[in-house]
Amino acid sequence: MSAAALVVPIAAGMVGGAVAVAAPGAIAHTAPAGGREDLFVPSDMGRIKVQVQWAARGGNAALYLLDGLRAREDRNAWSFETNAQDQFAGDDVTLVMPVGGQASFYSDWDTASNLNGQEVTYKWEAFLTEDLPAYLEGYGVSRTNNAVLGISMGGSAALTLAAYHRDQFKFAGSLSGYLNISAPGMREAIRAAMLSQSWFNVDSMWGPPWSPAWLRNDPFVFAPQLRGLSMYISAASGLPGEYDRPSAPIDFYNTANGMALEALALANSRAFQVRLATLGIPATFSFPSNGTHSWPYWSSELFKARGQILEALNA
């Protein structure tokens, strides 16, 4: 798959509800039993909006849902592109949906992107593993009983976060993620995709392609660190399926893009499957015969993974 194939939408991002601004302090109360809320969490990047749906019975488990390359600044796409909140409405697990982070790979960047005038250096790994869990702890959410799952960009990020923060995450899931970014052409493809997303410069994230940071963030490379982690890995064939019904010219264009992106994600995920097999590390894999790089398919995969997530969190 050529780099040009990725100069298209890799994924998206965006919620609503009550607003909590002040820090909750030291264990202010147990997690509210059900309901949805917008939190604004302090960080080195400023206040970050986080949409939450509290555990149905006030339990301490949490599932972090990560967005894709085109994450928006107002809502996390899991909250409106899928039925994730309805799926878990009766479960004793808090959904945590951070807002923002377009083209970030949820990573700690070296510097702010120098091609688009970005003013704040991304520090998403620090936020998701330090600032946010500390903040949520004030609501009775455990710092150690968490799952993380993402789509596309967020899929590889979910495995990265879990690999380096095993004390925080008991489960990690990648839906249509790019899990072999050292494969030929992948670094160039990621560069092209990030340039297409508001001119983000990948060199500001992990440095030039020969930088060790690229290897640190490649699931194929750090796979041995995932041993013992509950994992769910999915990617479809890229062939149009039940949710692909293009009618207008733009629909056919988007479907074609979704086919190419999903085919690339499948190749990456299959390579990752072989890598885990050679290491003797078990994981759950789902490779549907039809499906493109789009939200309805990811919503369906989340439903398939739900039982495994709840079991890993004892929720």
pLDDT digits (tens, 9 = 90+) for 236-248: 999 999 999 888 9
pLDDT of residue 46: 97
pLDDT of residue 21: 43
293, 299, 300, 301: the catalytic one is: 293
Contact 54, 32 (CB under 8 A): yes
Q: Which of 15-19, 33-37, 196-200 has the lowest mean pLDDT?
A: 15-19
For residues 257 and 152, give the distance between their C-alpha atoms in angstroms, rounded to a whole number: 13
Structure tokens at 239: 């062939």
For residues 201 and 205, give the distance between their C-alpha atoms in angstroms, rounded to a whole number: 7
Structure tokens at 9: 């939408």
pLDDT of residue 30: 59
79, 152, 176, 300: the catalytic one is: 152
Alpha carbon separation from 92 to 18, 145, 201, 215, 310 (Å, rounded) = 20, 12, 40, 36, 8
Residue 75 region, left (φ>0) first, then alpha (ψ -120 to 50), else beta? Answer: beta
Contact 47, 67 (CB under 8 A): no
Find the domain containing 86 and state its range: 3-313
Alpha carbon separation from 44 to 76, 132, 274 (Å, rounded) = 20, 12, 38
pTM over 0.85: yes
Q: Does the annotation count 262 as an active-site position?
A: yes
Q: Residue 32 — very low, low, confident or very high, per pLDDT cuts 50/70/90? A: confident
pLDDT of residue 22: 42
pLDDT of residue 7: 35
pLDDT over 70 for what percent of the chain? 90
Number of domains in the chain: 1
Structure tokens at 290: 């039809």
Residue 4 predicted with pLDDT over 60: no
Q: Residue 31 — very low, low, confident or very high, per pLDDT cuts 50/70/90? A: low
Residue 223 predicted with pLDDT over 70: yes
pLDDT of residue 57: 95
Q: Residue 29 — very low, low, confident or very high, per pLDDT cuts 50/70/90? A: very low
Question: Which CATH number covers residue 123?
Answer: 3.40.50.1820
pLDDT of residue 34: 85
Residue 23 predicted with pLDDT over 90: no
Strand ranges across the sheet with 284-286: 18-20, 36-41, 48-53, 93-98, 61-66, 146-151, 169-175, 230-234, 284-286
Q: Residue 144 — very low, low, confident or very high, per pLDDT cuts 50/70/90? A: very high
Q: Which residues contact 306 (CB under 8 A, 6 or more apart)?
A: 87, 88, 91
37, 81, 125, 262: the catalytic one is: 262
> What is the average pLDDT score of the chain?
91
pLDDT of residue 27: 43
pLDDT of residue 33: 83
Residue 114 predicted with pLDDT over 80: yes
For residues 95 and 75, give the distance between their C-alpha atoms in angstroms, rounded to a whole number: 14
pLDDT digits (tens, 9 = 90+) for 84-105: 999 999 999 999 999 999 999 9
